[in-house]
Amino acid sequence: MKGSMQPRRFRIDKVYWETDDTFTHELIPIDEGRFFNFHPGQFNMIYIFGVGEIPISICGDPDINTRLYHTTRVVGDVTKRKQHLKVGDLLGIRGPFGNGWPVEKAKGRDVVVIAGGIGLAPLRPIIYHFLNHRDDYESITLIYGTRSPDKILYRKELEEWSSRLDMDVSVTVDAAGRTWKGPVGVVTKLIPRIISNPDNSTAFVCGPEIMMRFTAVELLKRNFAEQNIFLSMERNHKCGIGFCGHCQLGSYFLCKDGPVFSYDKLKSYLSLKEV
């Protein structure tokens, strides 16, 4: 129920370790209703009994509503406990929250997906969406940057997507050993390689704030229009329903106005520190 702080329980059905510190839970709803519908780019508040609640973006296929997927990096109290949950254990979910990526606006256009680090998780649903509805979009480009080859998320999916002839995938890392055959460097360096028509392109960007800022600047240099660059912002969340105040970014509440905004709505804030 909207306005409630009481979670719905989900059972962990599978645990996938993506890297040494990042794992994905596959969840099945056990309380009222067998389905969980969401829009790519939305997030849930995940509750771990006795520990607390954290916002985590939904990273599964939006056309599958019987299972819920969340990728989590171990960074704080809740995620440290979460990593020890086993198959069969329960956790709580409130959501979905937020507006999500405006996929409708990208119909009939070239789409460019740019992810930095764990920022790939909130973008995975949109990639599934584009591929599920392949004919609705023109070219699909994915640029993903992460720290090193062992930090690459969703390796299986990336290999599968890379092998497709109707999608362009580039993975770059900040540093790598000799076995790495891909590019080395920040994601922005790959942007000039995008083969697309900026007038008919929409970009979806998620990663650390600084990465998104520089990515947006690079896309603008390539003549992308401000309103065709979408960024997903991160702030603290305690409620997800607009009452706790923590997720404010200037005049926005990320939980109800965001977390996704076009660049023109964000640029005045992105140029300021500590907003």
Partner 1 sequence: MYQEVDMAKLNPESVVILQKDDLAKLLNILRSHSYQTIGPTLRENAIVYDEIQGMEDLPIGWTDSQEKGSYRLEKRNDDAYFGYNVGPYSWKTYLSPARVRVCNASRSENGFNVVQETGNAPNYAFIGVRPCDVKAIKILDKVFINDFCVDNVYGNRRKQSFIVAVNCTEAGNTCFCSSMGTGPKSEEGFDLCLTEIVTEQSHFFVTEIGSDKALEVLEALSPQTASESEIKEAERRIENAAQSMGRNLNTDRIHDLMFDNYRHPQWDDIAERCLSCANCTMVCPTCFCNTVEEKTDLEGDNAERWRIWDSCFTLEYSYIHGGSVRHSTKSRYRQWMTHKLASWHDQFDTSGCVGCGRCITWCPVGIDITEEVSAIRNSSTVPEETVDQPR
Binding positions for partner 1, rule: CB under 8 A: 2-7, 9, 11, 49-53, 73, 75-76, 88-92, 188, 208, 213-214, 217-218, 234-236, 238-239, 241-246, 248, 250-251, 253, 256, 268, 271-275
Residue closer to partner 1 by CB (options 194, 219) is 219
CA distance 131 to 262: 23
By the 8 A CB rule, do 116 and 216 touch?
A: no
Cis peptide before 259 (omega within 30 of 0): yes
Q: How far is the CB of 84 from partner 1 (least distance, A)?
A: 13
Exposed e or buried b for every residue in 77-92, given b needs 16+ CB within 10 A?
A: ebbebbbebeeeebbb
CB of 117: closest distance to partner 1 in angstroms? 11
Residue 103 and residue 126: Cα distance in Å, rounded? 8
**Phi first, then psi: what are they for 253, rounded to 5°?**
-100, 120
Q: What is the CA radius of gyration of the chain?
A: 18
**Nearest in space to 79 (alpha carbons), one of 135, 40, 112, 121:** 121
Residue 180 or 214 having the CB closest to partner 1: 214
Least distance CB 124 / partner 1 (angstroms): 19
Q: What is the nearest approach in angstroms of partner 1 to the Cβ of residue 181?
A: 28
In the complex with partner 1, the residue whose CB is nearer, 91 or 127, is 91
User: Residue 98 or 125: which CB sits closer to partner 1?
Assistant: 98
Using DSSP, state whether 95 is helix, strand or coil: strand
Nearer to partner 1, 92 or 198 (CB): 92
CB of 68 to partner 1, least distance (A): 15
